[in-house]
Chain A
Amino acid sequence: MWSYAFRRVLMTIPTLLLVITVCYLMLHATPGGPFDTERKISAAVLANLQAKYHLDLPLWQQYLYYLKSLLQGDLGASFRYADWSVNDLVANALPVSLAIGGGSLLLSVFIGVGLGIIAALRQNSIIDYLVMLVGNLGSAFPSFIIGPVLIMVFAIWLKVSPAGGWNDFQISYMLLPMALLTFINVSTIGRVMRGSLIEVLNSNFIRTAKAKGLPMHTIVFRHSLKPALMPVVSVLGPLAISSITSAVVTESVFSLPGLGKLIINGASNRDYTLVLGLVVLVTVVAVVLNLLVDLAYALLDPKIRY
């Protein structure tokens, strides 16, 4: 176990390095520098500025400086917002994304597992069809269609919720975006949970438990739940990654001032350093999440021994 964990942690390093290097090189290959402004800067000032930001050094030394500042947790300065570092912008946006994204992921695990259990126990009942329907809808209607429809129904027709925006963690502004993200995740988790629980309930040891005369709730909660949850754990990694995607779209639909909005604004302003910094940050988060899920999987599944 420990040697597996160690190897798995080591494996993340080349991934991170690869992403950072490729992104850095792509950024470097684009024409234009940070001080190419319309106002002419005198050569001496330019030279000083370039020396300050190490822009006069060869590429590999600049890259090492960049890595060094990354290790110190510094994502650099923004191209467009003169007085802001990427860190400042992130510090403002991160809590919003965490509240919406983390909250909805937690919510959707509970709802998805719950609905999956009910659907598996009552196959072909209304709840079962509902879970399957939600699963189908989630795969055919992308978040940027469901989102506007939610706004149309709840904000414009029923007028029970604001149409978007953010007001300092006021709950009414968080409801619709969280509902959207939860819906998308529940569609995956519910389907996986239903499928795996049905499979477990058909296996031999459950038949034995039934033959012993154990009550149904003992069978489900004592004997079936743990093995049935394994596939759910294993989709959590990919799900966390796709949540980042849907979070970008959600923040754009509801105009929330989160990381997703920040990166879209950065992309349309061509704020290269901001986009690069955010990509690096989110990649680190995603890779670490994947790592945690894999380790949890190894820890939970008694069939896997390394």
Chain B
Amino acid sequence: MTEVQNDFIQKRESIIIKGNVAAAYAAKSARVQVISAYPITPQTTVVEKLSEFVDNGLMPGTQYIKMESEHSVFAAVVGASKAGTRTFTATSGQGIFYAHEMIHWAAGARLPIVVSIASRGPAPPWNIWADFTDVISQRDTGWMNCFCSEHQEIYDEILMSYKVCEDHDILLPKFVSYGGFILSHTSKPVILEDQDLVDKFLPPLPSEEGWPHIWMDPKRPMMFGNLIMPSSFYYEFRLKIHDANMRAKEKIKKVAKEFEKIFGRNYGNGLIQEYEMDNANVGVIIYGDLALQMEQAVEDLRGEGYKVGMVKLRHFRPFPTENLIEAAKKVKLLGVIDRATAFGSQTGGPVSCEVKAALHETKGTATVLPIINGLGGREVTLEQQKDQLLKLVKYNETGELPKDMIHGTLWDGLLEIE
């Protein structure tokens, strides 16, 4: 980051808030017009804070709808978004699963809804702590999906997401996810941007051009999402969802660049963020809150002379295949660290499966070692992450696999009680 940008950042005030509160402030800054809400741990404080804003008159004109379930919450934002408004909600774990039908609907109807997800492990056994299986299980719905690794990123990513989703060539909904409790209920300084500056980056609706997507209006009647025969264009509408996802990659990069220009904070190319990958022998791909701590682990090991690096995966959908291939060409061995499960798949970890598929058939890319850790909020310490890196270094140098491999995957940090 240049010195000019540093000066620019330091001039602005930051407040110490929880990750959930940062998400609520982002929705306020984005001037969302309809919020529908139903509480579920660990997301609850997002919608609590927003109800406070609306109640205190800090969000004039915003409709706050209390619903009776997550399914209804998503149905409400689908309806509100079709009416042309900027909509927001938040949910977690079981709530996502309950809303699954409407999640498919929102993507099929191509509505630019942004939802913040404080990820938690699916039950049973009952679990409310960080685990990205909930949001990753919505992989094939057509929603875009990104991971945040710190509080500021939650605020920033929600602003960027609206800009990407509402592009008339994209028109897709998006999940902005972060680890439950680890980010949602801990506090860190977050810079809340001036409303004027945010309005410049993300103009409030409707803009001069009108609403960003095709909206309901009694003066211009039309029918939404009606039945379509197999011989008609259903198949083609599905292709268009995939096409929009793929085209969104360029838009995400463009918006990340524009964001950096206005607000001075860099998020790599928007899709991935590399850290010490040049001149490294061994690297890891990691996402969510653990990526932040991994930066420290990489820095520490670099200090000890190990040539290690990392790639922070910011977007899971659209999947940054091309960028990951480029990154995988830089190293010989790549550990892919999941805090989520894909039972019965090749590796057991959803992202490691994707990475393996992405690198397949490209010569000169790294070998992949799948790693799973921290499921259901299990603590992953800095020491453990350094140990993971060292295991990779050892495997790379000696060809000796770590001894606790299970079905070809390193399940790191399993309990061993003596």
A and B together in one complex: no
Interfacial residues, chain B to chain A (CB-CB below 8 A): none
